[in-house]
A and B are shown apart, each in its own frame.
Chain A
Amino acid sequence: MNERKDIFDLRVDCERLDAAAAPEFKRRAQQELPAEQKRVLLDLDAVSFIDSTGLGVLVSILKQMGPDGRIAVIGARPPVRRLFEITRLDSLFRLYGDADQARQALAG
Chain B
Amino acid sequence: MKGVSRRRPIDRLNVLIVDDDEILGEFIALELQSRGCSILLAPSGEEALKLIGEDVDLLLTDWQMPGMDGMELVRRVRQERSGESYLHIAMMTAREGSGAMLEALAAGVDHFLYKPVDSVQLELAVATARRNRLLHRRLNRRNQLLATAHARMRKVFVALREDLDAAASLHERLLPSGRIVGSVQQVHLYQPALSLGGDTIGTLDLGEGKTLFFMIDVRGHGVPAALESFHLHHRLKGFRPSDPAELCRAAVGLNEEMLQRGDGSYATMLAGVIDAPANRGWIVRAGHPPPLLQQGTAVTVLEQGGSMPLGWFPGVSYAAEPFTFGPSARLTVYSDGLTDCFDGRQSGVSGDLYLARLLEAGAERPLAGFVDFIEEGLGLRKASPHDDVSLLALELTRLEDSAP
Which of the listed residues B219, B350, B352 has the most CB atoms from chain A within 10 Å of its own CB?
Answer: B219
Q: Report A40-74 CB contacts with B as 1/0, cut-off 8 Å.
A: 00000000010111011001100000000000000
A79 sits at the interface (CB 8 A): yes
B340 sits at the interface (CB 8 A): yes
A87→B312 CA distance, assembly (Å)? 10
Contact B350 A82 (CB under 8 A): yes
B130 sits at the interface (CB 8 A): no
A52→B268 CA distance, assembly (Å)? 9
Among the listed stretches B18-26, B32-40, B302-310, which one makes contact with chain A, having 4 or more residues with CB under 8 Å of it? B302-310
A87→B310 CA distance, assembly (Å)? 10
> What are 24 A-B pairs with beta-carbon distances under 8 A?
A19-B220, A51-B340, A51-B387, A52-B219, A52-B220, A52-B268, A53-B219, A53-B220, A55-B219, A56-B219, A59-B266, A59-B312, A60-B264, A83-B336, A86-B287, A86-B290, A86-B306, A87-B268, A87-B308, A87-B309, A88-B287, A88-B306, A88-B307, A89-B308
Contact B350 A18 (CB under 8 A): no
Q: Report B235-271 CB contacts with A as 1/0, cut-off 8 Å.
A: 0000000000000000000000000000010101000
B281 sits at the interface (CB 8 A): no
5 A-B pairs closest in CB distance: A87-B287, A52-B219, A88-B308, A56-B219, A59-B312
- B interface residues, tally (CB under 8 Å): 22
Residues in chain B near residue A78, CB distance under 8 A: 350
Selected from B266, B307, B312, B386, the residue in CB contact (under 8 A) with A18 is B386
B288 sits at the interface (CB 8 A): yes
B197 sits at the interface (CB 8 A): no
Q: Which residues of B contact A (CB under 8 A)?
A: 217, 219-221, 264, 266, 268, 287-290, 306-309, 312, 336, 340, 350, 352, 386-387
Q: Report the minimal beta-carbon distance from A59 to chain B, rounded to whole angstroms.
A: 6
- Chain B's closest residue to A48 (CB) is B345
Selected from A49, A52, A55, A86, the residue in CB contact (under 8 A) with B289 is A86
- Chain A's closest residue to B345 (CB) is A48
Residues in chain A near residue B268, CB distance under 8 A: 52, 87
A87→B308 CA distance, assembly (Å)? 5
Contact A49 B340 (CB under 8 A): yes
A89→B336 CA distance, assembly (Å)? 16
Which chain A residues numbered 23 to 53 have a C-beta less than 8 Å away from chain B? 49, 51-53
A86→B287 CA distance, assembly (Å)? 6
A51→B219 CA distance, assembly (Å)? 9
Tell me whether A52 and B217 are in contact in the complex, defined as CB-CB below 8 angstroms, given that A78-B350, A88-B306, A88-B307 are known contacts. yes
Residues in chain A near residue B287, CB distance under 8 A: 86-88
- Beyond the given A52-B268, A87-B268, could you list 18 further A-B residue pairs with CB under 8 A, ordered by the A residue number? A49-B340, A51-B340, A51-B386, A51-B387, A52-B219, A52-B266, A56-B219, A56-B266, A59-B266, A59-B312, A60-B264, A79-B350, A82-B352, A86-B288, A86-B306, A88-B307, A88-B308, A89-B308
A78→B350 CA distance, assembly (Å)? 9
A89→B306 CA distance, assembly (Å)? 11
- Chain A's closest residue to B351 (CB) is A79
A59→B264 CA distance, assembly (Å)? 10
